[in-house]
Structure 1
Amino acid sequence: MARRYDPERRTRIMDAALAVIASDGIAGLSHRTVAAEADVPLGSTTYHFASLDELLVAALRRCNENFVQALRASGLFAEERGGERGAAEADLAGELTRLLDQWFAGERGAIELEYELYLAALRRPALRPVAAEWTEEAVALLSRRTDPETARALVALMDGVCLQVLLTGGTFDASYTRVMLERIVAGGDA
């Protein structure tokens, strides 16, 4: 019997893993649940991903890519802002606040999924380098608008705000977030 050519199967398996995690959490993830979700034979999941950690690494990397695409699409980096740091930092806090506000105005499932995978690195060492990649990508993008130390502090604050909103079930406080982001941006000028 000839093997069916399916170049998108690996991607479908990763997407299925994300769907399983979104609905049942990481605890619900298994090769069997992913195979059922992707509508592929069980052997396909183990062929493409020998272990669940390998599958989680691929899923987290996919989330990272989606996040970086969202940052790039946000307009924060769309135009050259000139050589002066002040021009590049102009209303950076406001733009980041609007971006977070848009994320929280939509379905929280995507944000929860990303953070569940991100925080899984606490217990799964294989995920730690990929979680670090997410931070480094975000810092690199924000460093186009400010210095690297300020960019790192902005990422840390945004992470903290997102986690607090998600964990408490609260609402995103845009005015408070903007003030805190402005303080970090202003501190980078000192």
Structure 2
Amino acid sequence: MPEPADGRLRKGERRRRSLLDATLRLVGRGGTAAVTQRAVAAEAGVPPSAVLYYFASVDGLLVAALTSVNDRYVARLDTLDTIEDLVELVEDCARQDRLLTIAEYELFLHAARREDLRAELRRWDTALAGAAARLLPAAADRRPLLVAAVNGLCLAAALGSPHDTGVLARLVDG
């Protein structure tokens, strides 16, 4: 998201981003249960009142964190056109701090438990299916395999397990 021109708005957007980042760190270390107003404030180095100034509730903060993570990945999926782009997305997931990857998965699991958040899961699924359709236009039967491979490779990264992104190219090349 581009920074607003107004200085106060920029400061507010930076503070909001700082709270989201703090939330992801807490979720990565201790799950969604670790996210409290005081814990987020302490992690971000701000007064506890700042949390509820920027977010209506701790639940709203978790939803915003989930949406932010999903926005980032969906934007990348929507623009990728080559298998190399997809491999890079998966490799970026594997290269980032493992606790961040765990936090992202924890937020997706949080969404899976709540009907009101399942639209975020469908948004990921739709974007990944769209990428598979672009990469495999004439091989509809292999698209679900590509989707499953991406999901599995990203989960392997979260678990710290070995992963072979070469499987993606092999699926696309047939």
* Length-normalised TM-score, structure 2: 0.70
Which residue of 4, 16, 25 corresponds with 1:19? 25
Q: State the partner residue of 1:83.
A: none
* Residues 41, 47 of structure 2: 8 Å contact kept: yes
Q: Secondary structure at the match of 1:121?
A: helix
SS at match of 1:170: coil
* Pair member with larger Rg: 1
Which residue of structure 1 lines up, in the alignment, with residue 161 of structure 2?
Answer: 170
8 A Cα contact 1:17 1:29, kept in partner:
yes
Alignment of 1:13-92 (within 5 A): 13-71=19-77, 76-77=80-81, 92=83
Deviations 1:75-94 (A, max 9, x none): x43xxxxxxxxxxxxx73x6
**Compared CA separation, residues 66 and 122, structure 1 to 2 (3 A):** same
**Identity %, equivalent residues:** 35
**Does 2:151 match 1:159?**
yes
Aligned to 1:127: 117
Contact 1:101 1:172 in 2 (8 A): no
Query: Aligned partners of 1:99 and 1:46: how far apart in 2?
Result: 33
What is the CA–CA distance in structure 2 between the aligned matches of 1:137 and 1:68, rounded to whole Å? Answer: 6
What do the CA deviations read for 1:130-159 (whole angstroms, capped 9, x no partner)?
A: 222222233334444444966555223311
Opposite residue 171 of structure 1, the aligned amino acid is: P
- For residues 12-31 of structure 1, what are the alpha-carbon distances to aligned partners after superposition, in whole Å with 9 as ceiling and x for unaligned? 22222112212332221111
Q: CA RMSD in A?
A: 3.2
Tell me the number of residue pairs that the alignment of Structure 1 and Structure 2 aligns: 162
Deviation at 1:118, TM superposition (A): 1.1
- Correspondence for 2:12 among 7, 14, 38: 7
Runs (5+) with no aligned partner, structure 1: 78-90
* 1:178 Cα offset (Å): 4.2
- The one-letter code matched in structure 2 to 1:124 is R
- Judged with a 3 Å threshold, the aligned counterparts in structure 2 of structure 1 residues 140 and 28 are, in CA distance, closer, same or farther, namely same
Tell me which of 85, 107, 112 is aligned to 1:117: 107
Structure-2 residue corresponding to 1:139: 129
Could you tell me how far 1:34 is from its partner in structure 2?
Answer: 0.8
CA separation of 1:106/1:166 partners in 2, compared to 1, >3 Å: closer, same or farther?
Answer: closer
Superposition deviation, residue 69 in structure 1: 4.8
How far apart in 1 are the matches of 2:65 and 2:143? 25
